[in-house]
């Protein structure tokens, strides 16, 4: 809260907030258009083999053995303790056994297969459709819910504007996460899987939750501040909710940071997606959703 109960003039710098968002969104959008996302076998179909070797193995060995077996090896990812994740075009159990046998002979040591799983291309395409459908349905439901919850907002303000502004901020967060993961995928080989979709839906929920807290305070303050402009009401509401938003987000970010540092490799990129999304969701709730609402109202009438 600002000193002497004076609200912080957030809206005075609204164009700066939009510029900061564009600095993140534009490179990510370019990457999405140019390279897209690096999809895991969850979406493309294929086989995943997790191998633990007794010694460090040059990745070219895996490729050479796959070529000798006439198998299509898509990627090799190194993990801790001489563990490797191999992604193939769909394999049968017999092909998997033949590959590991040939690999044992090439390395002169026996490797252990910790995990082997296959996903058909039909299932992968179905997962892709369902993931996109989940995002669309979630966005529509959020607009309808906010519009209904804010239906008693004082006239001439519209509850639909609150709902649409929240969803624009939500899409901002989704675009930030997917854009950065497109960059990660191109330069670092990071793949998106069903856990990524889970993270994205979680980020959407968090973003909307934080935005609704701010918008609800705006709704409460509109009748309390009849002589204030809409921009001033939003500034006052943001100032009142700032500490709560930052404290809530900070505790989540600290927990996620601990998981990145001490958690396993399996969930690391899932946690990173959450970390980026929660940070972006906090930013967009304060610096995107509210300014969008103010600009919309300013365009509708003089405030």
Distances (CA, A) of 102 to 61, 77, 79, 93, 97: 11, 19, 22, 14, 9
pLDDT given for residue 2 in this prediction: 43
Q: Kindly report the CATH number assigned to the domain that includes residue 74.
A: 3.30.70.260
pTM of the model: 0.81
- 246-252's contacts with Cβ under 8 Å and 24+ in sequence apart are 246/282, 248/210, 249/210, 249/278, 249/279, 249/281, 249/282, 252/206, 252/278
Domain boundary residue, one of 103, 119, 135? 119
For residue 275, is pLDDT > 90?
Answer: yes
For the chain, how many structural domains are there in total? 2
Cβ 60 vs Cβ 86: under 8 Å = no
Query: Are 279 and 165 members of one domain?
Result: yes
Domain boundary residue, one of 81, 100, 119? 119
- Boundaries of domain holding 251: 3-40+122-300
pLDDT tens per residue across span 213-249: 888 899 888 888 888 888 999 999 999 998 888 888 8
Query: Are 98 and 159 members of one domain?
Result: no
Q: Kindly report the CATH number assigned to the domain that includes residue 133.
A: 1.20.1640.10
pLDDT given for residue 302 in this prediction: 54
pLDDT tens per residue across span 65-118: 999 988 888 888 887 788 888 888 888 889 999 999 999 998 888 889 988 888
- Distance, in Å, from the CA atom of 238 to the CA atom of 188, rounded to the nearest integer, reads 38
| Secondary structure element (H or E) that encloses residue 76, with its range | strand 73-78
Query: Are 290 and 170 members of one domain?
Result: yes
pLDDT tens per residue across span 160-169: 888 888 889 9
Cβ 109 vs Cβ 53: under 8 Å = yes
For residue 1, is pLDDT > 60?
Answer: no
The stretch 17-31 carries a mean pLDDT of: 95
pLDDT given for residue 121 in this prediction: 62
pLDDT given for residue 272 in this prediction: 95
For residue 274, is pLDDT > 90?
Answer: yes
């Amino acid at each position: 809260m600002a000193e002497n109960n004076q609200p912080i003039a957030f809206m005075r710098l609204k164009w700066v907030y939009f510029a900061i968002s564009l600095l993140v969104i534009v490179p990510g959008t370019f990457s999405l258009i140019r390279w897209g996302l690096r999809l895991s076998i969850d979406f493309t179909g294929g086989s995943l083999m997790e191998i633990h070797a007794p010694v460090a193995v040059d990745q070219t060995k895996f490729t050479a053995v796959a070529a000798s077996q006439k198998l299509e090896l898509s990627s090799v990812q190194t993990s801790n303790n001489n563990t490797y994740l191999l992604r193939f075009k769909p394999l049968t159990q017999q092909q998997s056994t033949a590959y590991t046998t040939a690999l044992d002979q090439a390395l002169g040591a026996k490797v252990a297969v910790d995990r082997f799983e296959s996903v058909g291309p039909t299932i992968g395409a179905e997962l892709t459709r369902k993931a996109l459908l989940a995002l669309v349905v979630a966005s529509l439901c959020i607009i309808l819910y906010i519009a209904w919850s804010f239906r008693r907002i004082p006239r001439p303000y519209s509850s639909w504007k609150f709902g649409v502004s929240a969803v624009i901020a939500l899409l901002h967060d989704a675009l930030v996460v997917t854009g950065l993961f497109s960059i990660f995928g191109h330069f670092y080989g990071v793949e998106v899987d069903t856990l990524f979709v889970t993270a994205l839906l979680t980020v959407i929920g968090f973003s909307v939750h934080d935005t609704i807290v701010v918008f609800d305070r705006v709704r409460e303050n509109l009748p309390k501040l009849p002589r204030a402009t809409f921009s001033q009401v939003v500034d006052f509401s943001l100032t009142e909710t700032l500490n709560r938003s930052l404290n809530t987000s900070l505790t989540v970010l600290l927990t996620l940071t601990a998981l990145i540092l001490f958690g396993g490799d399996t969930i690391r990129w899932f946690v990173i997606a959450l970390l980026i999304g929660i940070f972006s969701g906090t930013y967009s709730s304060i610096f995107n959703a509210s300014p969008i609402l103010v600009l919309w109202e300013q365009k509708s009438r003089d405030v």
